[in-house]
Amino acid sequence: MCFAYDARPPELPADLVLPTMAGGAAAEQFELTSADGTRFSAALAEAPDGSEPGIVILPDVRGLYRFYIELAERFAQAGHPAIAIDYFGRTAGTGERDAEFDYWPHVTETRVPTVQADIAAAIAALRERARTTAVVTVGFCFGGTQSFMAATSGELALDGAVGFYGSLVARREGAPTVLDHADEARCPVLGLFGGADENIPPDQVAAFEQGLARAGVEHEVHTYPGAPHSFFDRSFAEHAEACEDAWRRVLGFLGKVGAPVAG
Domain residue spans in the chain?
24-257
What pTM did the predictor assign?
0.95
Contacts of residue 109, defined as CB under 8 A and 6 or more positions apart, other chains included, come to: 90, 91
Residue 262 has pLDDT above 60, yes or no: no
Rounded mean pLDDT of the chain? 93
Cα distances (Å, whole numbers) of residue 58 to 74, 76, 134, 199, 239: 15, 16, 17, 20, 22
Of the chain, the percentage scoring pLDDT greater than 90 comes to 84
Nearest Cα neighbor of 144 from 83, 110, 191, 198 is 191
Label residues 181-199 b or e (16+ Cβ within 10 Å = b).
Answer: bbebbbbbbbbbbbbebee
User: If you classify domain 24-257 with CATH, what class do you get?
Assistant: alpha beta
The Cα 117–Cα 246 span in angstroms is 28
Nearest Cα neighbor of 152 from 164, 165, 167, 137 is 137
Orientation of helix 112-125 relative to helix 142-150, angle to 10°: 80
Tell me the mean pLDDT in the region 43-60: 90
Residue 38 has pLDDT above 60, yes or no: yes
Any idea which of 25-34, 56-65, 253-262 has the lowest mean pLDDT? 253-262
Nearest Cα neighbor of 121 from 32, 204, 182, 199 is 32
CB 110 within 8 A of CB 76: no
Bigger pLDDT: 21 vs 216? 216
Beta strand pairing status for 189-194 and 54-58? unpaired
Condensed to tens digits (0 to 9), the pLDDT of residues 66-75 reads 999 999 999 9
Q: In one letter, which amino acid is 87?
A: Y
Q: In one letter, which amino acid is 155?
A: E
How many alpha carbons fall within 13 Å on the CB side of residue 142?
23
